[in-house]
Amino acid sequence: MYVNIRGFHFISAALPGTDSAVTLLASAASGAGYLQIVQIGSDKATVNISNVAVTPEPQPPAAQSNVPRTTAPQTPGDLVTQLQTQGRAVLHDLDFAVGATTLSSTVNPELATLAELLQARRGLRIAVVGHTDTEGGLQANINISRARAQAVRSALINTFNAPAAQIDAEGMGYLAPIASNLTPDGRDANRRVEVIVLSDDG
């Protein structure tokens, strides 16, 4: 059973009046989803464990391998919901040329929505954080991930009029992966820019 410690859900339940129980553990990684079901009950004197891996149909490779992207589509509404419930969200479809640290285009509904959220909630502070895969040295990856995060911050401020004091920008390089760097899909998922909520004073 694969467990992504940055992206999993767990629930357990017991049947009242009995000693029967069930637990569900769901985890996701780039290119696959995983589900573990554990059933417990003394009437059978057994513990049943089922592991299921779900892999979607293969997709054609991205034309630009260094462009930060994620596998699941997301609407601007999803972005706000994720920030409110999880405290973090990945920005999708940011247009960086291969090896570049400047945005090729700032046309992005998510950036517009994020700027509107910051304008409406002046007590909200966020950090824009860049991430890379493990190709290249650590310091070089930290530099490029920080520069991409700063480019997104600049776009939020200069293009979408977001309050500068509410936005920090930093780069983590390859130090915070969300998938394995041993596969092309994993490296693709790890090249990303995400938003993290630092504080929200209402």
Per-domain residue ranges for the chain? 8-54, 76-200
pTM exceeds 0.85 for this model:
no
Question: Which of 123, 130, 131, 109 is closest to 197 using CA atoms?
Answer: 123
Say yes or no: domain 76-200 is CATH 3.30.1330.60: yes
At residue 17 the predicted structure's pLDDT band, cuts being 50, 70 and 90, is confident
| Mean of per-residue pLDDT scores for the chain | 80
pLDDT in tens, 117-129: 999 999 999 999 9
For residue range 77-121, what is the model confidence (pLDDT) as tens digits? 688 999 989 999 999 878 777 678 888 877 889 999 999 999 999
